[in-house]
A = this chain, B = another copy of it.
Amino acid sequence: MTQEAANSLPPSPSLSQGLVSIFTGDGKGKTTAAIGTVIRAAGHGLRVFIVFFMKGKDYVHGEFAILSKLPNVTVASFGQMGWVRKDKVKPEHKEQAGLALAAARQAMLSGNFDLVVLDEVNVAVASKLVELDEVLRLIDDNPQNVELILTGRYADPRLVQRADLVTEMLMIKHPYTKGIKARKGIDY
C-alpha cells in the first residue's frame, strides 16, 4: 500500500452533513474535479482520504505527488494497476481493486476522515473489478459526517440513484478528436 503521511492540523472542523457525489460522463474533468474538491477541503482543514482504483503507483507518485504533500491528505493506491481493459482483467487486478475498496471503507468508518474519494471506482465496477453491491453497501454504511466522492465514467444507474449529487461531464469538444495527444502536466 502506498500511503503518504497525513499530518493533522488541529483543530479540525467537521462536516455536519456528508453527501455522496458522483462525477461521471465522457468529458474531461471528473478526477480533476475530485482533486479540486480535495484541495478545497484540505484548505479548510478537513481530513481527506483519496484512493485511486485505475491509476498505478507511478501515476499517483508523479501527477499527484503534490497531493501527498498536503497536510490532512492521505493518498492510497495499490499495485501498478493502471487502466485495465474489461477483457483483460486478471485475478491480481481484482485483488488490488478489492484492497482499494477495503481501504476506502476503512477510512470512511475510521472517524479519521471527513472526505473520502474513490477515484475511478465507477470504471472498476463497470470492468467487474469490484462488485456493484460492495460499493452500494459502502454508500449505505457511510456515516453522516463523511463526504463520499465517486468518479469515473459508466456510473451504474443504481449508484446514481443512491447519490445526492451527480454531475455528468459531457464532452462537447475534445482535442483528441483533432489528433492532439494528451499532454503531460495538463492532461495527466
Contacts and interface: CB of A to CB of B under 8 A. Distances in A.
Interface of A: 13, 15-17, 19, 21, 23, 25, 27-37, 39-46, 62-67, 70, 114-115, 147, 160, 163-175, 178, 180, 183-186, 188
B170 A167 contact: yes
B168 A164 contact: no
Contacts of A31: 36
Contacts of A174: 165-166
Given A21-B28, A186-B115, A166 B175 contact: no
Given A43-B63, A168-B27, A19 B175 contact: yes
Contacts of A65: 43
Contacts of A171: 166-167
Given A15-B186, A41-B185, A43-B63, 12 more contacts: A15-B183, A19-B175, A23-B29, A27-B167, A35-B36, A39-B66, A43-B62, A43-B65, A44-B184, A163-B173, A164-B175, A169-B170
